[in-house]
Amino acid sequence: MIKPHGSEQLNPLFVQDDAKRAALVKEAEGLPSIVVSSAAAANAVMLGCGYFNPLKGYMNVADAMGVAEGMKTSDGLFWPTPVLNVVKDPAPVKDAKRIALRDPNVDGNPVIAIQDVAAIEEITADQMKLMTEKIYRTTDMEHPGVAAFNTVGRFAISGPIQVLNYSYFEKEFPETFRTAVQIRNEIEKCGWNKVVAFQTRNPMHRAHEELCRMAKDAVNADGILIHMLLGKLKAGDIPADVRDAAIRKMVELYFPPNTVMITGYGFDMLYAGPREAVLHAVFRQNCGCTHLIVGRDHAGVGSYYGGFDAQTIFDDEVPQGALEIEIFKADHTAWSKKLGKVIMMRDAPDHTKEDWVFLSGTKVRAMLSAGEDLPVEFSRPEVAKILMGYYQSAAAKG
C-alpha cells in the first residue's frame, strides 16, 4: 500500500488507549482552557485521524509563513496550507505550558484535545495578508475561506496535541465518518492495491458518477473511495446528511458491489482552490489512495480561480517527488446528446453548446424546490428524489 506522507507509518494523534485517554480527560479539568475556532477544532480532528500525518500539532508563525510562501515548513516538510490554532484573546491560557482546547461545535464545549504550548505569537497584519494572498489567491472578504481565515483572531498557539475525541462527527455520521487509519485498514481488507479517491462536498449527479468510473478504468484501479466533507460549509451548500443519503443510494443502485467505499472526514471547507487540492492529495495519500481525481474548479468557489488551476499547481508548484499519490486530471463531464452518454468535454471537440445537457445550480435548485423531475441524463431519479425532499422541505420552512 502507498506510504503515508512524510513517514513510514501513519501516526494519528488520537489517544487510542482508553485508560490513558480517561486520565487525560481528567487532567484537562484542571488545566487552563480556551474555546478554539471551528477551523482549529477541525484541524484537531484531522490530526487525530491521521489525515494530517506527519504533523504533531499546530504550526508556529514561521512554519505557517513558510507553508504559505513555499509549501514547506521550517524543517523542510512539504505542506500546502497552514494548520493553525488561532484565537482572538489568549489571556485565559497566558503563560500556561499545557492547556485544554474546547470544542466550539458541541454543546457545553467539551475538551477536544490537550496541547503543550510551544509559543503564543501575534500574527501581524502583513503576515495575515501574505498568507491570505498565497493560500486563497485573493484578499476579498466576500470569499468564504478568506472571511473565515481572517476573523478567528491574530494569536497563534503552537505546539503538539493529544486528541481526545472526534468532535460531533462520530455521533452525527456513524456510518460515514472514518479516520485515515480505518480507511487504510478497510482498503487492506478489501485487497485493493490501486484506489482512486473522489472528493465531494456536493451530491453526485450522473457526471460525477461517470467520472469515478472513467478514472477507475483509466488507472485500472481496484476500487473507488468516495470521500465526502462532513464539516462546515458556506450558506447554500447541501447539508452532509442529505448528500450522504443521495450518494449511498447512487452507489447501491448503480455500482457493482464491493467496488466503492463511501466515507467522510471531519474538516471545514477552505474553498482555497489549488492549495486545497494539494491538501486533498496529502490526506488521500495518508488514507492509502494511489490516485486523486482533480476536476474542473476543484475546491473552488465563485470565479476566484481558473477552471484548471487546481490541476496545474501539481505541475508548476508541487516539487517532483513531494507526494507519492498521482493526480487523475479530469475535464468537465456532461451528457452528450450526440453520443447518448456522459463524456469529458475535451473528448468531443466537435460538440457545440447545444449538444450537452447542462443545468446550472440555480436551475437545479428551482426545479427540485418546485417538485419538477431533473432530466435523467443529468441525475439519477432516485438521487433527485432525495434532493427534492430536502429542497421542498427547505422551501416550506423558508
Decide: helix, strand or coil at residue 244: helix
Decide: helix, strand or coil at residue 293: strand
Q: Alpha-carbon distance 381 to 215, whole Å? A: 24
Contact assessment for residue 212 and residue 292, using Cβ atoms and an 8 Å cutoff? no
Decide: helix, strand or coil at residue 387: helix
> Residue type at 71?
M
Burial per residue of 167-183, b for 16 or more beta-carbon CB atoms within 10 angstroms, e otherwise: bbbeeebeebbbbbbeb
Burial per residue of 381-393, b for 16 or more beta-carbon CB atoms within 10 angstroms, e otherwise: eebbebbbebbee
- Pick the closest to residue 118 from 133, 99, 101, 134 (CA basis): 99
Active site residues: 201-202
CA 304 to chain centre: 18
- E runs forming strands in 266-317: 291-294
CA of 321: how far to CAs of 50, 293, 325, 392, in Å?
21, 18, 10, 49
